[in-house]
Structure 1
Amino acid sequence: MKSFTCIIEGKVTGGNFQSWVLDAATQLELKGWVRNIANNKAEILVQGTEEAFGTLQARLEAEAPVPDMRPVKASVIDYDKEHDHFEIRG
């Protein structure tokens, strides 16, 4: 299973960003998680098809509720665990 990671920079706290990502990933049948990693940064780990990931990335850039979001930094990674659903992590 292909794994992708994204770093989102902008005001990701105090809103519904993580819930928005959960809903978008679930609609696209992606697995993995989203979590805040620092002040104004979040990380998303996604497992699924490259096409679905590309759709998520495009939706992040166009629709995510992050008014000051910088360009999404995304990459393919080696990840040793396969997830069976998408979740919000603390």
Structure 2
Amino acid sequence: MARVCRHGYVSGRVQGVYFRQATAAQAERLDLDGWVRNLADGRVEVLFEGEEAAVNELTSWLQQGPEAAEVTALELQEQALQGVAGFIVRR
């Protein structure tokens, strides 16, 4: 199966609800590479790559996020592979 990369933004109540940590846990469970970080405007930015099925699964999960989150919008675009290794929470 082909590797794909997606980059984008999650809006809503996504800061202060362990969104970044939960995203990293999901990405690691799915063996995805990339990163996640909070933005000053209240959104979360995410980049992840890996096998297409796993990328699709994380994409679906991001539409809901962790229990305390309230996702109002998910904007993702396919990108060229970035070649990152591992998944990190950026500060």
| TM, length-normalised to structure 2 | 0.84
* Alpha-carbon shift at residue 63 of structure 1 (Å): 4.2
1:35 aligns with 2:37: yes
Output the aligned Cα RMSD.
1.6
Of 45, 48, 55, 1:46 maps to: 48
| TM, length-normalised to structure 1 | 0.85
The aligned counterpart of 1:15 is: 17
The aligned counterpart of 2:62 is: 60
4+ runs of 1 displaced by more than 4 Å? none
Which runs of 5 or more residues in structure 2 are unaligned? none
How many residue pairs are counted as aligned between the two chains? 88
Which runs of 5 or more residues in structure 1 are unaligned? none
